[in-house]
Amino acid sequence: MTILFTTDHEWLRIEGDVATIGVTDYAQSQLGDVVFVELPKVGRSLKKAEAAAVVESVKAASDVYAPISGDVLEVNEELAAEPALVNSDAAGKAWFFKLKIKDKSELDGLMDEAAYAKHTA
Residues 6+ apart with CB under 8 A from 90: 22, 23, 24, 25, 27, 28
11 domain residue, yes or no: yes
20 domain residue, yes or no: yes
List of E strands, 28-69:
34-38, 45-46, 51-57, 61-65
Residues 12-41 have pLDDT tens digits of 999 999 999 999 999 999 999 999 999 999
Please report, for the domain that includes residue 31, its CATH number: 2.40.50.100
Spell out the per-residue pLDDT of the chain, length 121, in tens.
899 999 999 999 999 999 999 999 999 999 999 999 999 999 999 999 999 999 999 988 999 999 999 999 999 999 999 999 999 999 999 999 999 999 999 999 999 999 999 999 9
67 vs 52: CA distance, rounded Å: 9
Distances (CA, A) of 28 to 23, 46, 83: 7, 23, 11
12 domain residue, yes or no: yes
Average pLDDT over all residues of the chain: 96
Residue-number span of the structural domain to which 98 is assigned: 2-103
DSSP type of residue 69: -
**Percentage of the residues of the chain whose pLDDT score is greater than 70:** 100
Q: State how many domains the chain has.
A: 1
